[in-house]
Each structure stands twice: as structure tokens, then as C-alpha cells.
Amino acid sequence: MGPWPGRAWEGPSGAWTLAVDEAGWPVLAGDIIVQPDTQQQWIVTGAQVMRNNLDDTVNYVRVDALERVGPNTEPPMTPTPTTRAAT
């Protein structure tokens, strides 16, 4: 699926918050989100749709995630993740 526009912020604890285009919904715990330009990957730990009642063009999916490092890192919640792309 995707790619869709998005943003990523690393928090002080090392956890990440991603903002993903609403077209990427549903995003489930254990999914892997990939930044196509750099191949950076995150394992989703939680997600919710953030909707604006006045302007639906600013809706997005807030994703809580951990960075996936190396090919042997397994998602913490499911052994068979679905790969999704974000830019």
C-alpha cells in the first residue's frame, strides 16, 4: 500500500510518533511502516485516526512506533506484519 505523505518525530525515550495520511488507515499494531527514500522502518505499537470536524483535508493517522533496526528485528506484537509505506 501507499506511499502516502507523512512525518516522523523521535521522542526523548527513543519511541517515534508518525503522522500518516488517512488513506493509510487501518494501521494496526505490528504493521511495519517504511520511509521509501531512506528505507527507515518503524514497527507500529498503536494508531488512531485524528479527525478535524471543520476541515477533513487535515485528517491524519497518529502512529506510535519503535524504529526497526536490522532485518532480524521482529515486531513486538505479531510474527507476520503487514508492510505499509509512508513518505
Q: What is the pLDDT of residue 71?
A: 65
Q: What is the pLDDT of residue 5?
A: 75
Name which of 1-5, 34-38, 58-62 the model is least confident about.
1-5
The domain spans of the chain are 6-85
Identify the DSSP state of 36: T
With 0-12 / 13-18 / 19 or more C-beta atoms within 10 angstroms meaning exposed / middle / buried, residue 67 is: middle
Q: What is the pLDDT of residue 74?
A: 56
Calculate mean pLDDT across residues 66-80: 61
